[in-house]
Amino acid sequence: MLLSNVINAPAPRAAAPKPPAPQAPGKDEVFSYNPQDRLVMTTETKVIPNVRPGDMGPATDHVMLREQLEKVNDQYVYGNDDPRQNSALAFASAANTINSFLEVFPEKVKWAFKYDKLLVRPNCGEDFNANYKRESGTVNFYMKEDPVRHAHVHSGASGDIVSHEVGHALLDAIRPEYMNAWGPEPGAFHEAFGDMMSIHMALRDDRVVQELVKQTGGDLSKPNLVSHMAEELGTGVNNSPGERKTGGPYLRDANNSFKWEDPSKLPDEKGTPDKLGWGKHSFSRVWTGAHFDLLKAMVSERREAGMDPSQAVKESNQELFKMLAHMILESPHGKFSYRDMAVAFIQSDKMHNEGKRAELIQKVFTERNILPADLPTELLERDEASRRAVANARLFQSDQTPSFETVPVVLGPSLGQFSGAVVDVPTGLDEGLFKSDHLQSSTEADIARLVKAGKIRYNDPHYKMKDADVYNPKGEPYEGVVTWQDGQMKIERLHISC
């Protein structure tokens, strides 16, 4: 969610995957639930369907809590002062996010890791942070005290944050190559996808919609609890001396006016609340802002047609959530830019929605400078058969590990101690990238940028990485680490998204 000081690295799961045992039928269970966080909303309850006891804690078909929770009065519902409430909140939000996405995504989803369930770890140490780790198949949540409010801020108790991290896991399941890309835009899109999931999940909750309408009267360009991400954690960050300020009582705000700029020309990684950086959290704000523009336009259209604000918000949310799922279904393979993704968004609308929103998408993404004003119209048409053939060749090929094409690039002399290292770059079958030297120069520029930001770890030959070595001295996860094979240096991608 946010890069800062991560204290405790999770141990990998001990048990190897077991063959599926015959399972008792699951049942509806009631959990403590908060679609926002304790700063914004009171905690209430939600029924999670098809829950059964897992070997580590309550589980559905797709997700498991790594904590055995004792039910109280036959429910997983706990008071605000009961630490079990944090665990129940994290699990309920994760299960609800996955169930909701699977309702709108038209294909089967298989995790990018080797386990059948995403593991929710609610108590991973002290930090204002949360992350998804592919290698361990976990979403990990942390706690830190807000020094002004004296509240213990549990990232797993925030619906926004849990949906964001689970969003990383879902996108990783569908397009694993995005977490293997080295350029700024795939990483930033991953972050935007997390925030889009938070927005859509929040708006599926009636209490949130009610509060949103109270705050805005249905004009979503006004400050509101849905566009504000992770309010309690953001406030904790802002109240802590030495932390970077976020610009308001949130971690990020989807109501923004950032326009696309070439990230390779942005000098700063993290930017500021008002200035874009090339780093993934900062640059994600452009895409999330455009997505929220779509929502605003769709709500306005319904209200102008006479619909009441709550209904307009709910219907627009459901429509846009489906559009997002269709975009991901038709999204580029391998290395991509925001522009490629926006083209896929329009194409997917033509393929799955009769092009009803194609014009709106083009307008919004052109206003955000993501699409050029003179976009050739033939780009927006796609031969569905060829596209599906490519997608089918790649999706869910293996039972164990995700599969995609990569092209090895050997780094040239400008990369200092990393010169000569081999870097695998994911490419799409439908791309002509590797036919030119563009891949060489863009990969070298991507790695150089990460080296400068301290995101590539050098290791001597024969060095054995320890768990804590995946974090740099600032406590941020490395993007890549050096490994050696038969005297050949390689930079391997790490798969951690905060």
Interacting residues toward Zn ion by CB under 5 A: 191, 194, 497
Tell me the CB-side half-sphere exposure of residue 391, using CA atoms within 13 A: 18
Q: Which of 93, 132, 120, 97 is nearest to 1 (CA)?
A: 132
Q: Return the number of the residue (43 or 140) whose C-beta is nearest Zn ion.
A: 140
Least distance between Zn ion and beta carbon 280 (Å): 8
Cα angle value 103/334/435 (rounded, 5°): 150
Q: In this structure, which amino acid lies at residue 35?
A: P
CB of 3 to Zn ion, least distance (A): 9
The pair of three-digit structure tokens given for residue 15, joined into one six-digit string: 């048990």
Name which of 139 and 299 has its Cβ closer to Zn ion: 139
Closer to Zn ion by Cβ: residue 160 or 191: 191
436-470: b (≥16 Cβ within 10 Å) or e: eeebbebbbebbbbbbebebbbeeeeeeeeeeeeb
Least CB distance to Zn ion at residue 131 (A): 7
Residue among 48 and 124 whose Cβ is closer to Zn ion: 124
Nearer to Zn ion, 4 or 497 (CB): 497
Instruction: Return the ∠ at Cα 239 (arms to 236 and 241), rounded to 5°.
Output: 120
Shortest distance in whole angstroms from residue 2 CB to Zn ion = 8
Strand partners, 47: 30
- With respect to Zn ion, which residue has the nearer C-beta, 3 or 9? 3
Give the nearer residue to Zn ion in terms of CB position, either 186 or 194. 194
Burial of 170 (0-12, 13-18, 19+ CB in 10 A): buried
Shortest distance in whole angstroms from residue 465 CB to Zn ion: 23
- Quickly tell me which residue has 């690295």 as its tokens: 9
Least distance from Zn ion to the Cβ atom of residue 188, Å:
10
The least distance separating Zn ion from the CB of residue 79, rounded to whole angstroms, comes to 30
Strands 480-485 and 456-457: parallel
Residues 6+ apart with CB under 8 A from 462: 484
